[in-house]
Amino acid sequence: MPRKDPCQKHACAIQTCLQANKYVESMCEDVIRAMRRCCEVHAGENSVCCSGFSRDRKPKEDAAPA
């Protein structure tokens, strides 16, 4: 039996928050930060939920303007 993804509850929390806030990401920053922390802790465990969270990726507010 496959192991449960260690960050799945955080991924679900992000989806719940986004749905509740009409997909306004800024309203869910704390939940997204928690997911990033989980992915950092569980790096290298082949987390499917963390596949979209790159360690090198910076939050939008730190990114250079296009």
Residue 22 has pLDDT above 90, yes or no: yes
**What integer is the mean pLDDT of 7-33?**
96
Q: What is the DSSP string of the chain?
A: -PPPPTTHHHHHHHHHHHHHTTT-GGGGHHHHHHHHHHHHHTTTS--SGGGG--TTPPPGGGSPP-
Does this model's pTM top 0.75? no
Residue whose structure tokens are 């989806």: 15
pLDDT tens per residue across span 33-53: 999 999 999 877 778 888 887
Confidence of residue 4 (pLDDT cuts 50, 70, 90): confident
